[in-house]
Amino acid sequence: MFRMKRMTTVIALALFAALAVPAFAGQAQTPQAQQAQPKPPEVQPAIIEQPMPDFTLPAYQGGSVSLSQFKGKNVLIIFPRGYAAPNYWCTICNYRYVELAELEKAQQIQKRYNVQVLVVFPYPRETVQAWLEALPGQLEKIRETKNPADPAKLDAAGKRRMERWRQIFPDDYSLKKGEILDPFPVLVDGDHAFSKKLGLFQTEWNGGKADQNIPSVFIVDKNGKLLFKYMGQSTVDRPSYDYLFKVLEVINGLK
């Protein structure tokens, strides 16, 4: 009797397993389940010596900006990294943004090189505003790290950081608290769609986990053709502005 009961139990479990596996497998293969999975964004690389696809984005300053409205001008499109970690801005991006603004003020680079500068952030407007509002404090932090009150009291790591920052950030800039520096259209890519299309938007890059763009620079000529493209391999390898101005000189010399 005991053997018969045990055999009956084994047969019942086997039948349940045989029936259950196709049922669960069928559920995993339903079209509805497949449709529910979000599709990865389709990257459409911008190709050198090909027309740069037109785009339109809202500007922090108000209104919207389209690439096509600058026909007849070169366009320098800068994609700062933004966040380097949660609640931590990329210091180099802050510095480079202010550096370009100061060059515009001193040398009128947009007029000199027949170029329109656009800055694109992969964030909603309130986050872009927070970045701009944080600039005065970020510049002060750079100055304090480069010029500590008593360098002799720094440990070895602090001294290395001081020397490295003096090399990376050679000039001193400052902004008054509450001052908003926006001499160029700052474009708001709030849903990351434009940045994702170019393959720039990342949630982890160069050791930092946060919503961010790979720091990049595109130069489009006056006919709308992409003639220069840089995408960073690290946060410190970006080309200098002197280099980019030489590129613009070459572009302006082309017939």
CATH architecture observed for domain 56-253: 3-Layer(aba) Sandwich (3.40)
- Which pLDDT tens digits describe the chain residue by residue (255 residues)? 444 444 444 334 343 333 343 333 444 445 554 555 666 568 888 999 999 999 999 999 999 999 999 999 999 999 999 999 999 999 999 999 999 999 999 999 999 999 999 999 999 999 999 999 999 999 999 999 999 999 999 999 999 999 999 999 999 999 999 999 999 999 999 999 999 999 999 999 999 999 999 999 999 999 999 999 999 999 999 999 999 999 999 999 986
Q: How far is CA 57 from CA 13, 32, 62, 250, in A?
A: 61, 34, 10, 29
Instruction: Kindly report the pTM of this predicted structure.
Output: 0.83
Rg for the chain (alpha carbons), in Å?
27
DSSP string, 15-56: HHHHHHHHHHHHHHT-HHHHHHSPPPP------TTSBPPP-E
State residue 241's pLDDT score. Answer: 98
Note whether 134 and 97 are within 8 A (CB). Answer: no
